[in-house]
Amino acid sequence: MSENSYRSVLLDRQSAIAGTGADAGVASHYGAPTREARDLFAGKAIADLSHLDVLELRGEDRQSWLNTLSSQSITNLKPGESSQALLLSVQGRIEHEMKVLIDTDRVLLITELGRAEPLREFLNSMRFMLRVEITNLSETHGVLGAVREIPTCNDLVWRNPWPQVNAGGWAYSREDHPGLERPWFLHIVELDRLAQAVGEEQLAGTMAVESLRIAAWEPRFGFENDDKTIPHELDWLRTAVHLDKGCYKGQETVARVHNIGHPPRRLVFLHLDGSMHTLPAEGSEIKLGERTVGKLTSTSLHFEAGPIALGVIKRNVDPEAVLTVVDGESNYPASQEVIVAPDAGQTAGRFTGFLRTPPSK
């Protein structure tokens, strides 16, 4: 689905304000984004994310074939089970992110707006003689999000693994992860029954969704990554990478950085100075003194924490240092909470300081 081709029927709801960019086609808010975030977090509201793209894979080889391409082990997933997977370049850089849902006779993939068609084209190029059919369902299907399962929807529910450490995964951040406070479910629904699926439920906009995501330290494709990002930098070894699954494109980089190196950059959570009464723009420079050390990737006004943000900075930046986010003429002091530890990686022979799940049987 292209950014300009979709308009949700839920934008006809009272006070709905349309989103832009990656969240075009659905409401950014319904008049009270902070309250909507509080209600969404409490399970009292659901979010219209029907602009997200959906792909369908059918055919006998669908699951084993996708497993050979992706960073995640999905061969043994059963119908109703969910996962997250990445497609990487030979250099280990992130090219696609997929939310994977196994259905009885198909695999469903949820992607960001406008990403399904490039993903479909790539997957088609890798089919060769295998029994796989790939269909873009983005014109007929969309997504609803909530911290709970929505009873008025069908059984196609993607259950977010974040921030649990999947089998074969590894955590580059602390054990008491704030993302544990926010479960997240994406329901795939037919667009012609979107209003019916929502029913009388209270709605929250994408600003509320982003506020909870940022507070949960969860990276989002198209925001926290660029054309050089490797999974380690975003703590995606937790949920999107299986370190023991066998060969896939980019595996050598993943293994090398994890075992004997360090990711060159690290995801960081930022508490912004609340006295500014505004938020810096995504893409703003993050500075330590006069030196640019990174980029702001996501920002929001949280209903409890105030102005918060995610950024990607150089690995060796002192975690105790107060940084400055520079947006034009405005400077925003920012204190850090470590997400990806500065000493992440180099795990060969060192099994302390990180969480690791046992290898899958």
Is 22 a member of any domain?
Answer: no
CATH number at residue 309: 2.40.30.110
Tell me what pLDDT residue 356 has.
53
Residues 213 and 325 in one domain: no
Same domain, 269 and 196: no
**Residue 4 confidence class, pLDDT cut points 50, 70, 90:** low
- pLDDT above 60: residue 239: yes
In this structure, are 60 and 196 located in the same domain? Answer: yes
What is the predicted pLDDT for the residue at 182?
97
CATH of the domain at 177: 3.30.1360.120
Q: Are residues 110 and 224 in the same domain?
A: yes
204 and 279, same domain (yes or no): no
Contact at 8 Å (CB) between 276 and 307?
A: yes
Residues 217 and 76 in one domain: yes
Domain span at residue 193 reads: 46-234
| 198 in any annotated domain | yes
Domain stops at, among 234, 256, 283: 234
Q: Is residue 294 part of a domain?
A: yes
Residue 190: the pLDDT is: 97
Q: Is the same domain home to 222 and 315? A: no
Is 157 a member of any domain?
yes
- Residues 226 and 314 grouped into a single domain: no
pLDDT band at 128 (very low <50, low <70, confident <90, very high): confident
Residues 173 and 68 in one domain: yes
Task: Count other C-beta atoms under 10 Å from residue 282's C-beta.
Answer: 16
Q: What percent of the chain has pLDDT over 90?
A: 91
Domain end among 190, 217, 234:
234
- Asked if residue 53 belongs to a domain, the reply is yes
Integer-rounded Cα radius of gyration of the chain: 20
Q: How much is the pTM?
A: 0.94
List pLDDT tens digits, range 192-216.
999 999 999 999 999 999 999 999 9
Among the ranges given (38-42, 68-72, 273-277), the one the predictor scored with the smallest mean pLDDT:
273-277
Q: Are 197 and 298 found together in one domain?
A: no
Give the distance from CA 214 to its chain's centroid: 10
Question: Residue 5: what pLDDT?
Answer: 83
Q: How confident is the model at residue 246 (pLDDT cuts 50, 70, 90)?
A: confident
Give the residue with greater pLDDT, 352 vs 109: 109
Mean residue pLDDT across the chain: 94
Task: Please enumerate, as own/partner, the contacts of 7-15 that have beta carbons within 8 Å and a separation of 24 or more.
Answer: 8/48, 8/50, 8/51, 8/142, 8/194, 9/194, 9/195, 10/48, 10/50, 10/194, 10/195, 10/198, 10/203, 13/203
Residue 230 resides in a domain: yes
306 and 189 share one domain: no
Q: Does 346 map to a domain?
A: no
172 plus 318 within the same structural domain: no
Residue 350: the pLDDT is: 53
* Predicted local confidence at residue 328, as pLDDT: 96
Distance between CA 318 and CA 320 in Å, rounded?
5
Q: Flag whether 239 is in a domain.
A: no
- Domains contained in the chain, number: 2
Q: Select from 181, 212, 234 the last residue of a domain.
A: 234
Give residue 2's pLDDT. 57
